Structure 1
């Protein structure tokens, strides 16, 4: 993942087995009805983006999956506007991802959930 100035923000994981394993965990977590629905949707989004399964288009793919999930409770235009809102607030969005990925934060995602909820 790169920021607007093409500086590396995140490199993702390596190896097809590791990617499959992480996406499997993401799918399990995103369909777990015991978790709050919106938290589950945004955490699944983070897990896809963090895994970075493709060489290109991870951001668009991740936002598309999130929009599909949000479409279950929001109108189609609102869900589809997610990508535009993320683009408008991309500095905050990238900062939120970096915050969760910081080893000292141990995956604490409250900041990410707050920023993502403001983007949608």
Structure 2
């Protein structure tokens, strides 16, 4: 609904999505992120550290998504997903938030006609009487 009134993907929207997924009030991480290592144990990627640095990178991410350019929207979508996951702004929920951002971007670019949601138990899950119900409204 936020995209209907303001068709921009913002840092605050990313934080709001993550908070809804995690059902908490956490924000941009202030602790070092998890490094990626290859099979030899060599560190091949270290995400940015420091809240100010992460927020600056999110600001660049926001500008990239919302600028009017000649990039094919599907190419831009792939680049924005890579950029968001490389920033890895949250302690948890980055992948799920990133996948929701993909859908929002497709909707924003009018490439997705109907609302869609990933049926992932991590997005919105309710436990009731030992049964799992997905909330899709």
TM-score normalised per structure 2 = 0.47
Aligned residues: 78
Structure with the higher fraction of residues in strand conformation: 2
Q: Which residue of 2 aligns with 1:29?
A: 64
Structure with the higher fraction of residues in helix conformation: 1
- What does 1:91-110 correspond to in 2, within 5 Å? none
Q: From the superposition, tell whether residues 9 and 33 of structure 1 become closer, same or farther in structure 2 (CA, over 3 Å).
A: same
Unmatched runs of 5 consecutive residues or more in structure 2: 1-33, 37-42, 121-137
Unmatched runs of 5 consecutive residues or more in structure 1: 3-7, 85-120
Match of 2:103 among 54, 60, 67: 67
TM-score normalised per structure 1 = 0.53
- What does 1:1-120 correspond to in 2, within 5 Å? 11-34=46-69, 35-71=71-107, 72-76=110-114, 79-81=116-118
C-alpha separation between the residues in 1 aligned to 2:76 and 2:88?
Answer: 18
4+ residue runs over 3 A deviation: 8-11
For residues 29-74 of structure 1, give each alpha carbon's deviation from its aligned partner in whole angstroms, at most 9, with x where no partner exists: 1122212222222211111111000000100001111111112312
